[in-house]
Structure 1
Amino acid sequence: MTQNASDIARAILAAHSARFDGHPAAAFDGFSSDAPVYRGAREACARLGFIAIDSECVARAWQAQTERLGHFDAAQWPADPRDFGLGSFPPAARANSFPPCPIALGLYAVLPDAAWVGRMARAGVPTVQLRFKSDDPAAIAREVQAAVEAVRGTSALLFINDHWQLAIEAGAYGVHLGQEDLDALTPAEVQQLRASGLRLGVSTHGYAEMVRADAVSPSYLALGAVFPTTLKKMATAPQGLARLHGYADLMRGYPLVAIGGIDMDRLPQALAAGVGSIAVVRAIVGADDPEGAARALMARMQQGMR
């Protein structure tokens, strides 16, 4: 990603170089649409296939980086949290941080019901998530409670997808929220969730969403979808390994979970990007021998983390 982006940014910047007059740092004028670095970087990101909000986010960061350094460097893709307006690192040290979780969550199994949660917890999977879908509130409440009971006596860390109030009531380890769920919370509800002691994981699909999630200092970030997946309709294209490397570099103060289309063959590549956890769905629930698949995936992770 970085080299291609650098080539494009350099070429685009040349078209706007008249305003530099040999003094790049002097060309800054806030986030004006005429600012050469901001404009060039935004065009470069768009050509690279970034969605509009991510192009805007990176362009602002690249301009901030140039102002901080005093010159434009097309070879230096923004990777400093300060340039993205992120909070202080490590996030766990912030006053508004959610309770911490292990920096390496290991194999992270996303599972459809409490029975599956129990199977994978007993198989030794270190992190499990209940993603139970139903229109029946009573059924959801029963499944959340059953999942908490299913991991009892094991070392598995249980996250509940979406249903944070039920997760608090049942005594789960944590909750996982998507961007829309996070945006729907009021400040008072965020504080209630933080005060409950639950760990919070947040889904992100690019730079802008990582910045949004960082504002509440969650316990971990999920990055994806890395590869194509048919399990759910995604609003963004697969992020790919190059972007995953960039995201992990920027957000390295967080426990990071790569998710989306990862199987046995792709696992080492995703792990090498700098994340401490790999989330899987079909690689386990679609396997002929789910427990055997889980053991094989965990062994592969151990090899990759040495």
Structure 2
Amino acid sequence: MPHPDPQTALAQTLLNTHQSRFGLASDLPSDAPSGPETYQAAWRACRALGFIERDAHCLAQAWQHRAQRTGRADDLSWPEQPEDFGLGQGLDPALAFAPCPQALGLYVVAPSAEWIARLARMGVPTLQLRFKSDQPQAIRQEVRAALQAVRGTEARLFINDHWQIAIEEGAWGVHLGQEDLEGLDLTPLRAAGLRLGVSTHGYAEMLLADRVQPSYIAMGAVFPTTLKAMATAPQGVARLQAYAQLMRRMAQPYPLVAIGGIERSRLPEVLASGVGSVAVVRAVLAAADPQAEVDAFQDALQNALQDASCRSPRV
């Protein structure tokens, strides 16, 4: 049987090295986009590990950049240095959004101002109003009511999507998805001093989020969720850990929020990844006793963060 060519041999070695971490893998793709040998081998391995094409491209570029930087094309370790991904490079600090605490605590996403009011009274530290309507006046009334509901409490409230109304009504922050950022002039948001949270679903979207220097980055969906259709498969804890480790190595790390199907029983493994907060919807809103679930979640969150801090290696 003929020996594989050097690029295929390297791709197979990379796949074998990381398969146990990221789970079941498929066969190597037969070819890769044009590029240096290390890039092509890494791209093929990452595709076989289940990473979507644009994430495989980001990883392969990072592998190639590291090989050029270190002179070691035989380094089989997973890339985790921000400079190899281009993170944090060429950015103007004056364009960064207002900061958030590194640990945002329990973060509950709710569909109405009524829920926001209830959750604020329960002591939830971070909230997001995700109100769906195509009626501008209804949206404005709901945003206004939600903002009124958190006044006098310690809750931080983010408004999902409706950033123009959020500015006009004096919101503390907004949360946007990747599709919302496309072609959006962020100058009014920065000028208004609003905090900005951005959703990400993998390496490519983390790099795009970094370009706008948000207040925090959300990563998910970690586990399967029925609340919304997802363009990508659940990320899982292994990928979450890889994402968080990379982002925490930045000179100015972003607060990281894990989201997607997170139940209280899974807090230890999620927080051990290195994220500082978790966002939930159904785990609290669908609970038989939401107040009891919030209290239990916050106790478990505090304990899990303490345990994760004790176990985490320095980065």
Where does the alignment leave 5 or more consecutive residues of structure 1 unmatched? Answer: 1-7, 15-30
Equivalent pairs, count: 278
The aligned counterpart of 1:182 is 181
Q: Which residue of 1 aligns with 2:278?
A: 278
2:309 match: none
Find the partner of 1:249 among 245, 266, 271.
245
Q: 1:234 aligns with which of 215, 230, 234?
A: 230
Match of residue 221, structure 2, among 217, 225, 243: 225
Query: Structure 1: which 4+ aligned runs deviate by more than 4 Å?
Result: none
Unaligned runs of 5+ in 2: 1-7, 15-31, 307-315
Q: What is the match of residue 116 of structure 2?
A: 117
Deviation at 1:96, TM superposition (A): 1.6
Q: 1:226–1:259: 8 Å Cα contact kept in structure 2? A: yes
Aligned equivalent of 2:151: 152
In the alignment, structure 1 residue 290 sits paired with structure 2 residue 290: yes
Greater displacement, 201-210 / 68-77 = 68-77
Aligned CA-pair RMSD? 1.9
Change (3 A) 1:171 1:9: farther
Are the aligned partners of 1:9 and 1:44 in contact in 2 as well (CA < 8 Å)? Answer: no
Q: Contact 1:126–1:155 (CA<8 Å) still a contact in 2?
A: yes
Q: Deviation at 1:134?
A: 1.1
Partner of 2:83: 82
After superposition, the C-alpha distances for 1:17-52 in whole angstroms (9 at most, x for unaligned) are xxxxxxxxxxxxxx9824111000000010000001
User: 2:67 touches 2:75 (CA, 8 Å); kept in 1?
Assistant: no
Deviation at 1:62, TM superposition (A): 0.8
The correspondence of residues 163-202 of structure 1 with structure 2, limited to 5 A, is 163-185=162-184, 189-202=185-198
Residues 231 and 9 (structure 1 numbering): CA distance in 2 closer, same or farther, change over 3 Å?
farther
In structure 2, the residue corresponding to 1:42 is in which secondary structure?
Answer: helix
Mapped partners of 2:64, 2:13: distance in 1: 12
Question: Is the 8 Å Cα contact of residues 57 and 84 (structure 1) preserved in structure 2?
Answer: yes
Aligned to 1:254, the other structure's residue is in SS state: coil
Query: Between the two proteins, what is the percent identity of the paired residues?
Result: 60
The answer to whether the 8 Å contact 1:10/1:74 transfers is no
The structural deviation recorded for 1:87 is: 1.4
SS of the aligned residue for 1:129 comes to strand
Change beyond 3 A, Cα 1:112–1:296: same
1:267 aligns with 2:267: yes
Deviation by residue 1:146-171 (Cα, 9 ceiling, x = unmatched): 11000000000000000111111111
Cα gap change, 1:303/1:139 in structure 2, threshold over 3 Å: closer, same or farther?
same
- Report the secondary structure of 1:266's partner residue: helix
Residue of structure 1 in register with 2:67 after alignment: 66
Q: 1:56-115 CA deviation, whole Å, 9 max, x = no partner?
A: 1110111001111111244321111111111159x8x92221000101001000001001
Letter in 1 for 2:229: K
**Contact kept in structure 2, 1:220 and 1:257, CA below 8 Å:** yes
C-alpha separation between the residues in 1 aligned to 2:247 and 2:169?
Answer: 31
Q: Which amino acid aligns with 2:236?
A: G
TM-score (norm 1): 0.87
Query: Does the 8 Å CA contact 1:271/1:304 hold for their aligned counterparts?
Result: yes
Mapped to 1, the partners of 2:301 and 2:196 lie a distance apart of 23
- Classify 1:32/1:111 alpha carbon distance in 2 versus 1 (closer, same or farther; 3 Å): closer
Query: Counterparts of 2:284 and 2:107 in 1: how far apart (Å)?
Result: 10
Alpha-carbon distance in structure 1 between the residues aligned to 2:280 and 2:13 = 41
TM-score w.r.t. the length of structure 2 is: 0.85
Tell me the alpha carbon deviations over residues 130-186 of structure 1, each in whole angstroms, 9 at most, x when there is no partner.
00011211111100011100000000000000011111111111000000001141x
Letter in 1 for 2:227: L
In 1, the alpha carbon distance for the partners of 2:48 and 2:155 equals 43
